[in-house]
Structure 1
Amino acid sequence: MRASLPAIVLLVMGSLPAQGQELRAQLSPRDFTTLAAEIGAKVERISVREGERFRKGDTLIAFDCSIQRAQLAEARAALSAADKTVAVNARLLELQTIGKLESDVALAERDKARAREAAGAAVTAKCVVPAPFDGRVVEQKVRAQQFTQPGQALLDVLDDSVLELDFVVPSKWLVWLKPGHGFQVAIDETGKTYPVKLTRVGARIDPVSQSVRVTGAIGGHFPELSSGMSGKVLLSPP
């Protein structure tokens, strides 16, 4: 799910660019989200800190779920007992020692026990927060031993494997500016120029400014680049 990192917007000097004028923009991550607690529990362990990297599926936060695990064990024991009751009643029904109603009630009790066991397993699965993608921690919003409520924000994370540029161009450029078009961006912080390929064109043209938002992706992997860096988009009509 994509969520609430602050929007990274175009920095345009003045109005729309004239031919040959450079645009300014900032790098933004392809994916970013805020991970939230799904249960009320105490934070037992935080595996990553701000700025650290993680892999998809890594456990980022673990909760103290001793009560939930005990409830799950109880539900599983109740399900086991219900299974045995159903098996015995099935044999007794064959011998006509009990009626069908009694057998049906036992089956219903087993279904209830199975549902409670499934619910307990689902809750227990929420005791760890896995990484949704490869990425980095932007901000840690909780601390170990802190009690959290369902829906409380835990971590802001982003995937910086692909960095993007969002900027605005005149709508008349769409005659030649298509997805796949290559250009360059000069990043201020590194003093280097990097290749960019246009990936998306906005779905709506602003009728007042006659402009449209477009998105490009940095081509290749450059460890020195980070989300939030800014620079000049070197793009002009042919």
Structure 2
Amino acid sequence: MNTKTMVDDATLIHPTKHANHFRPVNTSLNGLRRSDKRSAIRQKFIAGLICALSCLAVPAFAQDGNTQVRFLVLANRESPLSSVVPGRMAKINVQLGDSVTQNKVLATMDCSDLVARKNAAEAEYHAAQLRYEAKAKLQGLQSAAALEVGLAASEVNRTKGQMGIFDAQLAQCKFISPFNGRVAKIYVKEGQGIGAGAPVIDLVGSGTLRARLNVPSNWVAWLKIGSQLNASVGETGKQYPLTVTNISGKVDAVSQTIEIETRFPEKTDDVLPGMSGQAVAICPPDENRCLKSGAANS
């Protein structure tokens, strides 16, 4: 008796050991292994993610056709002050938003243990000096060897170096403003214990503000230091001229953009670091490459 195989659209019928019994084999998607299903789902997710990122990388266009670029306002200088040694906060001399001058003491830590250790080191230093002076006099009387005098001198240098270490550690107990600016954030309170490396105070400089942008890479053909942009800050609703000060040396291969930095005019008291907005480049006269890239005409 010949073995027959029955075939339909969704199922194959294969013979088993007995010719009159058939075992169905499902060939649809439900028959795939779980690992194959996960792989297919993963590939679809990655393809969707790449598509979404590609959409985000496309610059926005205003109704007039000009390319609008998002920017972030930055302070001219920033300094996150942190603790170098562990201890307890003894005094905080500033409040949030205060204007500070360079070399102002912003906060101090309770370093009484370091003071005590420094005092002990000073006592050892003075004692070492006395021993050295005595050995030197004895050497003049032929009562002390040169080796003893040399050892006494090295002890003086050792204790003096120990004092320098404590002086350096005590200097870290004071948080001093490195420039003129404003207090952006205070992380600690008086009496709070902090560890080494813990943030204490964030400072922002009071100089001319900056703006950082990622502009389309085709702007490189005409963009240069000194180029002008027209910026609109969302928080204030006002427009400000921006001047290009720095251009990155590398184009981002994924988004096809290049990072630049610009500066605001000097008198922009209503703009604060952290604000954001949109900017449009202003084309120089007779610069066709700029107009083709979607920038505004001057």
2:59 aligned partner, one-letter code: L
Q: Classify the secondary structure of the residue corresponding to 2:127.
A: helix
Q: C-alpha separation between the residues in 2 aligned to 1:46 and 1:70?
A: 23
Q: C-alpha separation between the residues in 1 aligned to 2:119 and 2:113?
A: 10
Name the counterpart of 2:112: 66
Is 1:104 equivalent to 2:147 in the alignment? no
Residue correspondence of structure 1 range 173-188 to structure 2 within 5 A: 173-188=219-234
Q: Classify the secondary structure of the residue corresponding to 2:209.
A: strand
Q: Report if aligned partners of 2:227, 2:243 keep a CA contact under 8 Å in 1.
A: yes
2:260 to 202, 208, 214: 214
Q: Report if aligned partners of 1:13, 1:23 keep a CA contact under 8 Å in 2.
A: no
Unpaired segments ≥5 residues, structure 2: 1-54, 283-289, 292-298
Q: C-alpha separation between the residues in 2 aligned to 1:109 and 1:211?
A: 62
1:91 to 103, 123, 137: 137
Q: Report if aligned partners of 1:22, 1:232 keep a CA contact under 8 Å in 2.
A: yes
Q: Report if aligned partners of 1:165, 1:215 keep a CA contact under 8 Å in 2.
A: yes
Residue correspondence of structure 1 range 141-160 to structure 2 within 5 A: 141-160=187-206
Is 1:48 equivalent to 2:104 in the alignment? no
Structure 1 position 160, deviation (Å): 4.3
Q: Classify the secondary structure of the residue corresponding to 1:22.
A: strand
Structure 1 position 184, deviation (Å): 2.3
Is 1:38 equivalent to 2:81 in the alignment? no
Runs in 1 of length 4+ with deviation above 3 angstroms?
A: none
Is 1:126 equivalent to 2:169 in the alignment? no
Structure 1 position 84, deviation (Å): 2.2
Q: C-alpha separation between the residues in 1 aligned to 2:153 and 2:121?
A: 16
**Which of the two has higher C-alpha Rg?**
2
Q: Classify the secondary structure of the residue corresponding to 1:33.
A: strand
With 57-66 and 187-196 compared, the bigger mean Cα shift is at 187-196
Q: C-alpha separation between the residues in 2 aligned to 1:34 and 1:208?
A: 32
1:121 aligned partner, one-letter code: D
2:129 aligned partner, one-letter code: D
Q: C-alpha separation between the residues in 1 aligned to 2:184 and 2:80?
A: 10
Q: Classify the secondary structure of the residue corresponding to 2:189.
A: coil
Q: C-alpha separation between the residues in 2 aligned to 1:74 and 1:45?
A: 25
User: Would you tell me which structure has more helix in proportion to its own residues?
Assistant: 2
Q: C-alpha separation between the residues in 1 aligned to 2:274 and 2:72?
A: 6
Q: C-alpha separation between the residues in 2 aligned to 1:232 and 1:170?
A: 14
Structure 1 position 13, deviation (Å): 7.8
Q: Report if aligned partners of 1:133, 1:159 keep a CA contact under 8 Å in 2.
A: yes
1:84 aligned partner, one-letter code: L
Q: CA RMSD in A?
A: 2.1
Number of residue-to-residue matches in the alignment: 227
Q: Classify the secondary structure of the residue corresponding to 1:204.
A: strand
Q: Deviations over 1:160-216 (max 9, x none)?
A: 423221112222211211011123212233232222110111121123443211111
Q: 1:176 to 1:114 in 2, by over 3 A?
A: same
Q: C-alpha separation between the residues in 1 aligned to 2:256 and 2:56?
A: 17
